Amino acid sequence: MNKIIRFTAALALMPGLTVAALAQDASISGEVKKIDQGAGKITLKHGPAKGLGMDQPMTMVYRVKDPAMLKQVKVGDKVTFEAEEAASGYTVTKMQKAK
């Protein structure tokens, strides 16, 4: 327990490290290029996704964690999203239209 308290205190003292900053690093900006409702996939053109090891902009197909996300966007929409890598490929876990 004491180690947890020390670790938490050390994190609190790190300059610039906030939950918002960590969340922002995970967020990727992109544009919807194609939606495949039946397969539960979306094609996104996006900038670098450092959290996924992608240093260059690219266009790729992602699975979606929740197929309902596909009904909230259309081709051409600008979005921000978060994704994770799994054995079966990359999966979008969160997505919303860009403001």
pLDDT digits over 34-73, tens only? 999 999 999 999 999 988 889 999 999 999 999 999 999 9
- Determine, yes or no, domain membership for 22: no
Contact 82, 27 (CB under 8 A): yes
Q: What pTM did the predictor assign?
A: 0.73
Tokens of 5: 């308290």
- Determine, yes or no, domain membership for 15: no
Q: How high is the pLDDT of residue 97?
A: 95
- In the numeric block, the tokens 């979606």 are attached to 64
- Determine, yes or no, domain membership for 6: no
With 50 as the cut, is the pLDDT of residue 2 above it? Answer: yes
52: which residues sit within 8 A by CB, 6+ positions away?
A: 28, 83, 84, 85, 90
Return the higher-pLDDT residue of 82 and 18.
82
Q: What is the per-residue pLDDT across 5-42, written as a single tens digit (0 to 9) for each?
A: 554 555 555 554 443 333 345 799 999 999 999 999 99
> Can you give the residue range of the structural domain that contains 82?
28-97
Count of domains forming the chain? 1
- Determine, yes or no, domain membership for 47: yes
